[in-house]
Structure 1
Amino acid sequence: MNEHKTNRTALGGFAPRGKRGVIGVAAIAVVAFVLGGLLFGGGDETAVSEHDSHDRAASTSSEPTIWTCSMHPQIKLPKPGKCPICFMDLIPLDLGSGDDVGPRQLRLSETAKQLAQIQTTPARRAFAEAEVRMVGKIAYDETKLAYITAWVPGRLDRLFADYTGATVNKGDHLVHIYSPELLAAQEELIQAHVAVQALDNTTSPVLRSTAQATLEAAWDKLRLWGLKASQIAHIEATHETSDHLTIYAPIGGVVVHKDAKEGMYVKTGTRIYTIADLAKLWAMFEAYESDLPWLRFGQRVEFTSPSFPGERFEAIISFIDPLVDPKTRTVRVRAVVENKDRRLKPDMFVRGVVKSRIDGEGNIIDEFLADKWISPMHPEVVKSGPGKCDVCGMDLVPAASLGFVGSELSNDDAPLLIPASAPMITGKRAVAYVEILNDEGPLFEGREVELGPRAGDYYVVKSGMKEGDLVVSNGAFKIDSELQIQAKPSMMSPTGDAATGGHRHGASTAVAAPNANHKETAVEQSDESVKAREAMVPVYNQYFDVQMALAKDDLEGATKAGTRLITAIKSVNISVFSRSGHGRWMELSKKLTKHADRISSAKDIKVARDGFFYLSEATIDLHQSFGHAGKEDYYLTHCPMAREGDGAYWLQTENIVWNSFYGESMLRCGSIKETLASTAEGKR
């Protein structure tokens, strides 16, 4: 049986260069070297002696040219040629001034520094200042809401506040309610009072205490139903009863909800009114989670409202939600607003600003709260010494315990700041570049820094720099790019020796790696059906013809091989399969035929390569199910850049990459992922 063989010499582009090509490459190398010398080798010197020029020329000619790949800078070869990874043309490597610098360092000439527009700013210690801007709206103060409910079952004969929005004062009558149960309770009071009065000194103590307890119970019942002590005493003294009860306002405010109507029968607890005291409101703001380091309980918030252009109001933060809203990624911040003139209304939109300064420990600098005592529940209660909260009676706590300090701090207490444009942040790492001054010219060094919160145009630096370092505030990305080209540690490559850019072999892609040793689908590998595997050898051979034709950019060869593949699929004797293998073969043969037909009719190599992607998926499934009986091992190959970065897998018979998706342009782009051993006689 004929096995598939690869014609290694058929691919164009491997022939030695002619003399004209060598001269052209040499000319390009000379021009690149001269330009590199101007950019990195002290081009700022305007005059050079003739003797020095000859010495430099002699030195340059004596140094061998190193060739590298623009996509894989770790490749360094003494001669021009192709990159062994992606098969792109090598380019001459600019060795610069030749001085010894560290792995994270880059030396530039003054001219190159100016051309790259690199600017530096000294890292300095200063108290970080930030403005946290928030949006929100006005809401009721929940502690200033009162619900007027029916204290006894009965009928609402009169509602004195008969519309929503009515203003009431504390003690105003609100409801006149008829209640037969109230009348019965008053009669119980009168009878208990008469019973107590009828007792004399000859009555036993047990009867006397029982009668007194009954009277007290009648008192408590009427008191809990809303009657005042004076009303109960009047009923007790005059024996006059009433079947109506008047309910009074417990607080002053505005009727924000009217839940009942006159004539309604109500049960105990039925809500009649909701009254809100608008003299104190809440401002409900939304703050980004990144702004939380700048916010503290007790801070002042200055806010404006579109309803009052040009006017500014003040509130005090009383609550910071411990949970983040998963939908908006914001945190609710509540502030208490004094509204004695009643100008602010609930549901008004507002915009707030919190101005913060922090020291090196993250404490908020606030001269007003420094050395003061504050209520942990009501931040508007601030005193100069320890004591009790005027609202809730809780013990006051020092403001320092809530993260506030005074302004009597030295410069050593300030955090280290660098411009916000200096660090390059990627994932968990932040890289910044500093300039090291020396006599040999500007030298830039990359450093990993740990950043604190952002403060306007600056970042707080926790570690990685010291005061006075000249940090690159403009042009850091250009320095980082040059380090990437030189295969040195950079932002995207911490170690510097990994391939950078688009050719990151071995990286995860959108295409999952097939498992060639999958056991659940290995129908025929388990029953030792050698005949079935031998019957599929022609199918594999024609697949490899398609694969190699596409690697050589040979569309005609690929279409012809696709036609032969269809014939090979139809020629497989299905009687050699077991019952389970027969069903699997029928399923896969349909897929193979479909995609082979697409390749055989392709008019464009892109269409053929797209069909080859799906053909390879089916062929890999075929091997997972049955294996192969060829005389050679097969190789599972992967290119992470194929199909616009989604990646692709295919099979081939060579242990060096022949990329069917890029052809000659990047023939070696990819890697061998697995060797698939043959199960033929003598190979097992």
Structure 2
Amino acid sequence: MMRPRRLFLIVTLSVLLTLSGVGWYAVQCAGQMGWLPFSGPSPAHAEKQKYTCGMHPFIIQDEPGTCPICGMTLTPLKAGTGDAGPAEKPKGERKIKYWQAPMDPTYIRDEPGKSPMGMDLVPVYEDEAPAGAVISIDPVTSQNMGVRTALVERRTLHRTIRTVGLVGYDEPRVYSVNAKVEGWIERLHVDETGQVVKKGQPLLEIYSPKLVSAQEEYLLALRNRATLKESAFPQIAQGAERLLESSRKRLQYYDISDRQIAELEKTGNVRKTLTLYAPFKGIVTMKMAFEGQFIKAGLELFKIGDISNVWVYADIYEYELPWVKVGQEAEVRLPFAGGKTITAKIDYLYPYVEPKTRTVKARLKFANPDFELKPDMYVNVRIKGSEVRGVLSVPAEAVINSGEKRIAFVALGEGKFEPRKLKIGLQDEEGYLQIAQGLLEGERVVTSAQFMLDSESKLREVIQKMLEPKKEPSAEPAGEADLEELF
């Protein structure tokens, strides 16, 4: 049996609900009769003309005048474009604008599919633009601003790299002449830097007590072999032969030529000085030898460079690297020879960046029989970069670079523009940017006055955030225990 207190609360609540319903009905009737100032819309009531700003559509006034923000003359507001905005279309009538990756707004496609992360693309409808993102501008205002657009289409991008090159030695053709024994330079045959030498040409004559001892040992071993050649003991004869070979190798290790050893065998006379010969041909680029000088073993005496073939090092900046590959043709223009052009191919790209110039060296090889190209000479280099075919591209002026983001404004028609985040790729020499993500083929992007559109878009976004009411946490429905406590 129900307790008296609970029965009283139930009766009281029922009475209050009945009175509330009657009161609500009375208010509605009074409103329709015109007794109350708050009344619903009447069909016979004509909508009053309102005025708005073409640059700031959220400015709406009942009378003509000027915009309080930019000072432009207000234009009549078209019917159906009030604050409430157009009514949402039924789902069956909505048109899909593109398909977008859920985790990456810049990844859009014109058909369903998968995102790079493996997620299904979601449709974006034409009436689903974020609040404050799409901005509207009156056509007259748009014309006065000088808004121009360009088509997003596929192009072949190409770039010619113009840079400076430095002529250098062909490194495998640079040689160093060292002394392998200590002694004194008695005579210097090559005594000038820049002198052309041939292979086998005498460089200097050196006196060394070690060389004299080595010659005497060789002659002694030679006589012993001749004496013991007919010995009845073969082992002794073989020992003499090995001693002679050892003495011969010692002279060769001191850079004594086979011709000098043959002459020593023929004459049997020990020479005070022995001659060192040039092992390679080229130009003497460094000379550290002087007559009468005492030299130690290991001292570098000459450096010889063969410049019949030279290398040219071209500086490539980091942003130009995607256009440069090994095997591409390059032209070298000689400014001192009336613009003479020499053609070659890129032989090697160095795998590191120069810390001072922040460039990567591209190496070119040239034949230089007339010594026209001289080491440490500057030349002009033109490299025809590889072509990138069939990529989406837009003019570079259509992209706003804010440092962290790349933004372009897509013209939607009827004076509406939508900001779109982009991921860009290469830029060619004609001023076109490769669009990796963010745009579809056939769309039109704004190429002028987009900075005014950008400022307008940001202003709309800020105002929209200020006008949005804060969402309060919803109260959870009372459970059976709460109702039991209430009643």
Query: Shorter-chain TM-score: which interval?
Result: 0.5 to 0.7
8 Å Cα contact 1:145-1:274 kept in structure 2 = yes
Q: Which residue of 2 aligns with 1:486?
A: 460
SS in 1 for 2:66: helix
Larger radius of gyration: 2
How many Å apart are 1:27 and its aligned residue? Answer: 8.6
Query: Quick one: which amino acid aligns to residue 163 of structure 2?
Result: M
Partner of 2:94: none
Which of residues 335, 338, 350 is equivalent to 2:379?
350
Deviation for aligned residue 1:38: 8.7
Structure 2 letter corresponding to 1:102: A
- What is the rounded CA distance, in whole Å, between the counterparts of 2:78 and 2:409 in structure 1? 33
Say how many residue pairs are matched: 366
Structure 2 letter corresponding to 1:260? A
Give the aligned residue type for 2:408.
A
User: TM-score, normalised on structure 2?
Assistant: 0.66
- The DSSP-based 3-state class of the residue aligned with 2:340 is coil
* Map of 2:97 onto structure 1: none
Aligned match of 2:65: 31
Q: Which amino acid aligns with 2:180?
A: W
Measure the CA separation in 2 of the matches of 1:346 and 1:432: 49
Letter paired with 2:401: I
Match of 1:573 in 2: none
Is it true that 1:213 corresponds to 2:242 in the alignment? Answer: yes
* Aligned 1:378-527 pairs, distance under 5 A: 414-437=390-413, 441-456=414-429, 457-487=431-461, 497=465
Instruction: Supply the distance in 2 between the matched residues of 1:458 and 1:469 (Cα, whole angstroms).
Output: 16
- With over 3 angstroms needed to count, the CA separation of the structure-2 counterparts of 1:302 and 1:213, relative to structure 1, is same
2:395 partner amino acid:
P
- 1:76 alignment counterpart: none
1:268: Cα distance to partner? 2.0
Quick one: structure 1 residues 63 and 292, their matched pair in 2 at CA, closer, same or farther if it must change by over 3 Å?
A: closer
**Separation (CA, whole Å) in 1 of partners of 2:343 and 2:453:** 47
The structure-2 alpha-carbon separation of the partners of 1:233 and 1:129, relative to structure 1 and needing over 3 Å to count, comes to same
Deviation of 1:201 (Å)? 5.7
- Quote the residue 2:129 is aligned against: 102
Distance 1:326 1:200, change over 3 A: closer
**Aligned partners of 2:172, 2:265: CA distance in 1, in Å?**
37
Deviations 1:219-257 (A, max 9, x none): 111112222223323323442332222222222222122
Equivalent residue for 1:225? 254
CA deviation after TM superposition for structure 1 residue 356, in Å: 0.7
Task: Tell whether the 8 Å contact from 1:183 to 1:243 is kept in structure 2 after alignment.
Answer: yes
Q: Give the distance between the partners of 2:314 and 2:176, measured in 1 at CA.
A: 26
Residues 26, 142 of structure 1: CA spacing in aligned structure 2 closer, same or farther, 3 A cutoff? closer
TM-score (norm 1): 0.48
Paired residues of 1:424 and 1:430 also in contact (CA < 8 A): yes
Return the letter of the residue paired with 1:32: T
The aligned residue for residue 271 of structure 2 is 242
Residue by residue over 1:10-64, the C-alpha shift from the partner in whole angstroms, topping out at 9 and shown as x without a partner, is: xxxxxxxxxxxxxxx99997413699999897xxxxxxxxxxx8xx69989x979
Change (3 A) 1:239 1:28: farther
Cα distance in 2, alignment partners of residues 40 and 267 from structure 1: 96
The one-letter amino acid paired with 1:450 is K
* Aligned-partner residue type, residue 224 of structure 1: Y
Q: Contact 2:221 / 2:244 at 8 angstroms: preserved in 1?
A: yes
CA distance in 2, matches of 1:497, 1:285: 53
C-alpha contact (below 8 Å) 1:39/1:112 kept by paired residues:
no
Counterparts of 1:202 and 1:224 in 2: how far apart (Å)? 31
Map Cα deviations across residues 275-299 of structure 1 (whole Å, 9 max, x no partner).
Answer: 2112222223332211111122333
Q: CA deviation at 1:200?
A: 4.4
- Which amino acid is 2:148 matched to? Q
Q: Please tell me whether the aligned partners of residues 408 and 419 of structure 2 are also in contact (alpha carbons under 8 angstroms).
A: yes
Task: Give how far 1:142 is off.
Answer: 2.2
Q: Please say if residues 283 and 315 of structure 1, whose CA atoms lie closer than 8 Å, have aligned partners that are also in contact.
A: no
- The aligned runs of 1:271-310 (5 Å cut-off) are 271-310=300-339
Instruction: Select which of 292, 297, 300 maps to 1:263.
Output: 292
Alpha-carbon distance in 2 for matches of 1:320, 1:498? 55
Aligned to 1:173: 202
State the AA in 1 paired with 2:445. V
State the AA in 1 paired with 2:357. Answer: T
* Aligned 8 A contact 1:315 1:338 in 2: no
RMSD: 3.5
Deviation at 1:353?
A: 2.0
Residue 478 of structure 1: how far off its partner (Å)? 2.1
The one-letter code sitting in structure 1 at the alignment partner of 2:411 is: E
Aligned partner of residue 231 in structure 1, secondary structure:
helix
C-alpha deviations, 1:481-507, integer Å up to 9, x for none? 211121179xxxxxx8499xxxxxxxx
> Do 1:134 and 1:352's aligned partners in 2 also have CA atoms closer than 8 Å?
yes
- Distance in 2 of aligned mates of 1:435 and 1:58: 23
**Where does the alignment leave 5 or more consecutive residues of structure 1 unmatched?**
1-24, 42-52, 65-98, 360-412, 490-495, 500-684
> Aligned to 2:166, what secondary structure does the other structure show?
strand
Cα distance in 2 for partners of 1:298, 1:215 equals 54
Alpha carbons of structure 1 residues 488 and 106: separation in structure 2 relative to 1, 3 Å: farther
Deviation by residue 1:117-142 (Cα, 9 ceiling, x = unmatched) = 22222222222111222224222222
Amino acid at match of 2:443: D
Is residue 39–residue 111 contact of structure 1 (8 Å, CA) maintained in 2? no
CA-CA distance at 1:211 after TM superposition = 2.2
AA aligned opposite 2:386: R
Whether 1:118 and 2:147 are equivalent positions in the alignment is yes
Q: Is 1:320 matched with 2:349?
A: yes
Higher relative contact order (CA 8 A, sep 6+): 2
User: What percent identity do the matched residue pairs reach?
Assistant: 31
Give the aligned residue type for 2:353: V
Deviations 1:180-227 (A, max 9, x none): 221211111111122222224654444333322221111111112222
8 Å Cα contact 2:135-2:457 kept in structure 1? yes
Kindly state the Cα deviation for residue 442 of structure 1 after the two structures are TM-superposed: 3.7
Contact preservation (8 Å) 2:160, 2:382: yes
What is the letter of the counterpart of residue 242 of structure 2?
A: A
Q: Distance in 1 between matches of 2:288 and 2:176?
A: 10
Moved more, 177-186 or 28-37: 28-37
